[in-house]
Amino acid sequence: MDAEQQLRVLLNDARLAEDLKHIAQKVLNRERITFDEGVTLYEKGELSYLGILANYMREKRHGNKTYFNRNFHIEPTNLCVYDCKFCSYSRLIKERSEGWEYTMDEMLDIVKKYDNEPVTEVHIVGGVLPQYDMAFYQGLFSAIKAHRPDLHVKALTPVEYHYIFKKAKVDYATGMRLMKESGLESMPGGGAELFHPEVRDKIAKDKCTGDQWLQIHEEWHKLGMRSNATMLYGHIEEYWHRVDHMEQLRQLQDRTGGFQTFIPLKFRNKDNQMSNVPEVSVIEDLRNYAIARIYLDNFDHIKAYWAMISRTTAQLSLSFGVDDIDGTLDDTTKIYSMAGAEEQHPGMSTKELVELIKNVGRHPIERDTLYNVVTDYMDYEFADAPKPQFYKLPVIN
């Protein structure tokens, strides 16, 4: 059965509760679900039910297509002025001996390492330190674009921009315009965590608020530019906090249309101040992906970071609303591994990513940052693929 047939069979199941049947009918009719219905999905939606709804929405929008890109990360520093309780990556300035601080030249050397590689994006994000100020990043972005104009610069979160702009005494609108003029082309979705102050004040009190995070993205969208959004889930929050987070994203997307992708980020409890909080199960991961796909009806893409949740869970997620599994990475990020992710040295070749997608019956598409198709790998044959062997057999008369 195709995705629509599965949904129609579900709707004819007499055992299905009326409130869940009503939500399923709204999904079939392409009607928006409400806040309370979002909470109902978390409280009552079983995995199989959520998978049918989310896969229907995924396939209506993307069919079997599954996206990835060729990218690498630059993480300028893991030292930070902020003390987020969930973070395994950053070190406070007093722990400087455990950290790194790249110079601009060192970061440009990382970029130059990929001069002969067909990467399309550099993803820049890290800790917050005073020396990485507005002038520093303007110079870095300009230098990257001068060296390699075709390389898309996706860089920094509102946490970093809020600090940088405050230090430079410019407002958000001016700051984002200056970043764009320096070569910034899109923004990643990090730093969102959970917007509601009941949770945010406990896990990330000092950095920008949820409202400020949203304001910075809105100013970026007003410039005609695109960005992503994230949500950190599976720690001390309640289900309604997750729905509140997605509701605020959905409202901003209604106003601007500037978000491309939503990326749920699983809380990992290794080596941080919340190590006493157990991690949620893979089933909860898949339920969360599915509900995100159902609730965020105005987001084009739902992404699973394979490096954070494992290759196997990433494959499973492609049946629960996910249509993007990020990129090749080339072991250039420590954010996931330091938090206890299964992938301690995250990196996959293009061939490995293609095979991972094909092995679950999906259609692999290499994209650029803005989801333009770079290569369709459905019928692609890699140059190093083994050739069939033919042997001359004796002729029997």
* 208 marked ligand binding residue: no
Q: What is the 3-state secondary structure (H, E, C) of the chain?
A: CCHHHHHHHHHCCCCCCHHHHHHHHHHHCCCCCCHHHHHHHHHHCCHHHHHHHHHHHHHHHHCCEEEEECEEEECCECEECCCCCCCCCCEEHHHHHHCCECCHHHHHHHHHCCCCCCCCEEEECCCCCCCCCHHHHHHHHHHHHHHCCCCEEEECCHHHHHHHHHHHCCCHHHHHHHHHHHCCCEECCCCCCCCCHHHHHHHCCCCCCHHHHHHHHHHHHHCCCEEEEEEEECCCCCHHHHHHHHHHHHHHHHHHCCEEEEEEEECCCCCCCCCCCCCCCHHHHHHHHHHHHHHCCCCCEEECCHHHHCHHHHHHHCCCCCCEEEECCCCCCCCCHHHCCCCCCCCCCHHHHHHHHHCCCCEEEEECCCCCEEEECCCCCCCCCCCCCCCCCCCCC
Instruction: Please indicate if the annotation marks 84 as binding a ligand.
Output: yes
Residue positions forming the annotated binding site for [4Fe-4S] cluster: 80, 84, 87
Residue positions forming the annotated binding site: 80, 84, 87
